[in-house]
Amino acid sequence: MTLLKDIRNSMPRDQVWPFLIEKRPPKIDASHRVLLYVEGLSVSFDGFKALNNLNLYIDDGELRCLIGANGAGKTTLMDVITGKTQPDEGEVWFGQTIDLLGKKEAEIAELGIGRKFQKPSVFEAQTVFANLELAMRMNKSIWPTLLARLNSAQSDRIAEVLGVIGLTEHSGLLAGALSHGQKQWLEIGMLLVADPRLLLIDEPVAGMTAQETERTAELLTSLAGEHTVVVVEHDMEFVRSIARTVTVLHQGAVLAEGSMQDVQNHPAVIEVYLGEDS
Amino acid sequence: MTSSALPAPLTGRVTALHELRARAPLFLAILFATTIAASLGNLLFPEDSLFHVSTYTITLLGKYLCYALLAMSVDVVWGYCGILSLGHGAFFTLGGYALGMYLMRQIGDRGVYGNPELPDFMVFLDWQELPWYWAGFDQFWIAALMVLLVPGLLAFVFGYLAFRSRVVGVYLSIMTQAMTYALMLGFFRNELGFGGNNGLTDFKDLLGYNLQADTTRVGLMFASAVALGLAYVISQWMMGSKLGRVIIAIRDDEARARFIGFRTENYKIWLFVYSALLAAIAGALYVPQVGIINPGEFSPVNSIEMVVWVAVGGRGTLYGAIIGAILVNYAKTRFTAIWPEAWLFALGALFVGVTVFLPQGIVGLFKNRLAGRAT
Ligand SMILES: Nc1ncnc2c1ncn2[C@@H]1O[C@H](COP(=O)(O)OP(=O)(O)OP(=O)(O)O)[C@@H](O)[C@H]1O
Ligand SMILES: [Mg+2]
């Protein structure tokens, strides 16, 4: 009878087997206001320092603009945060408790960090709708994906995002057939359906018309608060229209930080920019 | 509205998945109409009848169906996920050997040496008893299990090592070639206990049915058709589901798929295992029909040939691979009857020709034609 007992003990009624429990991302603790800590970060490629002892703190709910000349290290910084590149030195924390270094890309995405790439990267051989469906926040392991059916809340969410990004009419079109600006919007839409806590957005308005740019600015400002948004952009007009705090990167380190006005009047920034111009 | 302004191939591909879904009934209808007609032609009509189908033709058809299943297994990984395996012959052949071992044990004391336990080649090598890994192969269900287990395990281990270390592209293809090449060298050795370069042959019966009988031949051919039909429906269902869209996303931009939260390595490993299982089943159905399995089947050239079938038919549609396998093998049967030495050159020329002129294969040609007429 001990066998029976063993079997019974292995199936306690008040518990669920661990593999049946749905995985939930750990709670992100931003109780000290800061959501993203980047400290002493250095990355070098063949001896060239793309990031050089960089420090950056992003508050929860903030909209932060990162600016800097070509090659300043903006994209590299995003690569490190999202797990694509491992740094030589430094630390990256998401909230108080989650160390991002050493984590894989998928794991970081699951924690709620979404990314839009500098070069629009959507799945061109698939429809606009499928692109959004793929990006949607849901269980991304194999079996659930095989059996996935969109429930009505999810379909509604996709329809809503399609509306926001102005692609409702194109939902059945292949993403490869979209214009450059529309691809940028689709990629932003892919971020929205994933509903991330932190959005890293690399050059969102490149290739957009003035009107599209304006709409993007509105969208990003409306996201801040509930989400935390970090935007890299070269278009100063655009930065001016959305920025509250601006961080200037130069040669892999922070050169200046503050409001747009502060930054523009900052002696170091003036020196670097004027120095480069002349 | 805006779609009419787009180039035809682009709009044509919008509905690729729907089209695929619509093709399943058509494909199954053609498959079973052909095989049932051929079976009846062989079993019911006398040899002098106009409707008679020879047993040779039945076996040839059965062989083509196995190749079609094999081609589909290559398409699943290459066409849908961009994993160019040049070693799928390994899974096919291992599946074939596993069933071949059962067929060897079925011979019993009817072999040349009349040993009830040991296959002829072991008696010839003066072995006294069966090696441990031959144990149980007199049971069909164990052999059938091994048909799936051994190739599946190999694919898992290979995939785990390769995909986890993020090996892609040419390097991956070379690794798959090396895998099948190594297996070939191993199986050529007599000491390994799989019959050396002669392989396994002289089979007598399967589950008690005489392998030479017409009814058995027809049955095996039909079993191949059922396997192909089932594999087609299952694969199509998989590729039409969200899983299929993830797999295509991995093919087109794996890094991006990672950044939206998919653990792409796992997807690739399990897709590779699934594909290996299809190839193994094809091998197991192939061996009783051709009556022999030897290490030559592991040869790298064979694995490359499979890729050519898929390229010729058209990647990423499943039915393209099937069409390619049947056409190329029909050409091969014809060609080698006339001028066997030149087949490899013809195959090479075919591959180059298709790559340059028909990147989407025969299927793509017809699709573009259709799309062109629509506009
Ligand atoms: N994988 C890599 N290998 C070698 N060098 C690299 C690599 N990635 C980036 N770099 C170099 O690191 C420096 C920083 O690049 P990064 O892409 O981060 O700049 P950026 O600020 O995003 O510039 P841009 O405004 O042009 O996008 C550049 O000089 C670049 O050439
Ligand atoms: Mg950049």
Q: Does A84 touch chain B (CB under 8 A)?
A: yes
User: Residue B187's pLDDT band (boundaries 50, 70, 90)?
Assistant: very high
B70 DSSP assignment = H
pLDDT at position A24 over 90: no
pLDDT per residue as tens digits for the range B142-178? 999 999 999 999 999 999 999 999 999 999 999 999 9
Highest mean pLDDT among A44-48, B4-8, B125-129, B249-253: B249-253
Q: Which protein residue has the closest C-alpha to ligand 1 atom 25?
A: A70
Highest mean pLDDT among A108-122, A225-239, B280-294: B280-294
A94 forms beta bridges with A36, A98
The tokens for A72 are 């300043």
pTM above 0.90, yes or no: no
Query: Residue B18, SS3?
Result: helix
Q: Does A24 touch chain B (CB under 8 A)?
A: no
Mean pLDDT confidence for B67-81: 96
Suggest the residue from B248, B259, B267, B273 to mutate for an interface test with chain A (most A CBs closer than 10 A): B259
Q: Is A71 in the pocket of ligand 1 (CB under 6 A)?
A: yes
A198 forms beta bridges with A113, A228
Residues of B in contact with A110 (CB under 8 A): 261
Q: What is the DSSP string of A74-139?
A: HHHHHHHHTTSS--SEEEEEETTTEE-TT--HHHHHHHTEEEE-SS----TTSBHHHHHHHHSSS-
Q: Is A230 in the pocket of ligand 1 (CB under 6 A)?
A: no
pLDDT per residue as tens digits for the range B75-96? 999 999 999 999 999 999 999 9
- The pLDDT value given to residue B16: 46
Q: Is A82 in the pocket of ligand 1 (CB under 6 A)?
A: no
**% of chain B at pLDDT higher than 90:** 57
Q: What is the mean pLDDT of chain A?
A: 86
Report the candidate in B240, B247, B282 with the shortest Cα–Cα distance to residue B72.
B282
All domains of chain A in start order, with CATH: 62-83+105-274 (3.40.50.300)
Query: Alpha helices of chain B — where are they, by DSSP H?
Result: 8-14, 16-43, 55-81, 88-107, 120-124, 140-164, 169-188, 214-240, 242-252, 254-259, 264-290, 300-313, 319-338, 343-357, 361-374
Residues of A in contact with B1 (CB under 8 A): 169
Residues of B in contact with A109 (CB under 8 A): 258-261
Closest Cα in chain A, distance from residue B238 (Å): 7
Q: Which residue among A76, A86, A254, A272 has the greatest number of ligand 1 atoms within 8 angstroms of its CB, and so is best to mutate?
A: A76
- Among A20-34, A108-122, B95-109, B142-156, the least confident range: A20-34
More confident residue, B266 or A259: B266
User: Residue B20's pLDDT band (boundaries 50, 70, 90)?
Assistant: low
Q: Is A253 in the pocket of ligand 1 (CB under 6 A)?
A: no
Report the candidate in B306, B326, B310, B329 with the shortest Cα–Cα distance to residue B91.
B306
Helical (H) or strand (E) element with A217: helix A210-223
More confident residue, A158 or B22: A158
Q: Is A213 in the pocket of ligand 1 (CB under 6 A)?
A: no
A73 DSSP assignment = S
Q: Are B281 and B95 in contact (CB under 8 A)?
A: yes
pLDDT at position B345 over 70: yes
- The pLDDT value given to residue A223: 87
Q: Is A68 in the pocket of ligand 1 (CB under 6 A)?
A: yes
pLDDT at position A13 over 80: no
Q: Are A237 and A75 in contact (CB under 8 A)?
A: no
AA identity, residue B232 = Y
Helical (H) or strand (E) element with A246: strand A245-250
The number of the ligand nearest the C-alpha atom of A50 reads 1
- Among A71-75, A189-193, A259-263, the least confident range: A259-263
- The pLDDT value given to residue B295: 95
- The pLDDT value given to residue A97: 86
Q: What is the DSSP string of B105-162?
A: HHHGGGSSS--SSS-HHHHHTT--S--GGGTTTTSHHHHHHHHHHHHHHHHHHHHHHH
Mean pLDDT confidence for A8-18: 67
pLDDT at position A277 over 50: no
Mean pLDDT confidence for B217-231: 94
Q: How many angstroms separate the CA atoms of B211 and B197, rounded?
A: 23
More confident residue, B361 or B23: B361
Q: How many angstroms separate the CA atoms of A36 and A139, rounded?
A: 25
Residues of A numbered 110-149 whose beta carbons fall under 8 angstroms of chain B's beta carbons: which are they?
A: 110, 114-115, 117, 121-127, 130, 133-135, 137, 140-142, 145-148
Q: Is A70 in the pocket of ligand 1 (CB under 6 A)?
A: yes
pLDDT at position B6 over 60: no
Mean pLDDT confidence for A24-50: 83
Q: Exposed, middle or buried by CB within 10 Å (0-12, 13-18, 19+), for A226? A: exposed
User: Residue B51's pLDDT band (boundaries 50, 70, 90)?
Assistant: confident
- Provide the pairing of β-strand A228-232 with A245-250: unpaired
Mean pLDDT confidence for B117-129: 86
Q: How many angstroms separate the CA atoms of B339 and B332, rounded?
A: 10
Mean pLDDT confidence for A47-75: 91
Q: Is A75 in the pocket of ligand 1 (CB under 6 A)?
A: yes
pLDDT at position B371 over 90: no
- Among A14-23, A145-154, A187-196, the least confident range: A14-23
Closest Cα in chain B, distance from residue A146 (Å): 5
Highest mean pLDDT among A192-206, A216-230, B131-145, B273-287: B273-287
The tokens for B66 are 């196995």
Closest Cα in chain A, distance from residue B135 (Å): 32
Sign of CA dihedral B233, B238, B242, B248: negative
**Are the Cβ atoms of B256 and A123 closer than 8 angstroms?**
yes
Q: Does A234 touch chain B (CB under 8 A)?
A: no
pLDDT at position A162 over 50: yes
Q: How many angstroms separate the CA atoms of B160 and B144, rounded?
A: 24
In B, minimum Cα distance to A128 occurs at: B14
Tell me how far the alpha carbon of residue A65 lies from the centroid of ligand 1, in angstroms. 18
Q: Are B290 and B93 in contact (CB under 8 A)?
A: no
Tell me how far the alpha carbon of residue A84 lies from the centroid of ligand 2, in angstroms. 14
Query: Residue A215, SS3?
Result: helix
CA dihedral B1, B7, B8, B14 (to 10 degrees): -60
Q: Is A251 in the pocket of ligand 1 (CB under 6 A)?
A: no
Q: Are B231 and B24 in contact (CB under 8 A)?
A: no
Q: Beta-carbon neighbour count of residue B54 at 10 Å?
A: 13
pLDDT at position B375 over 60: no
pLDDT per residue as tens digits for the range A116-139? 988 888 999 999 999 999 999 888
Q: Are B363 and B314 in contact (CB under 8 A)?
A: yes
Q: Which residues of B touch A (CB under 8 A)?
A: 1-3, 6, 10-11, 13-14, 238, 241-243, 245-246, 248-249, 252-253, 255-264, 266-267, 270
**% of chain A at pLDDT higher than 90:** 46
Residues of B in contact with A145 (CB under 8 A): 241-243, 246
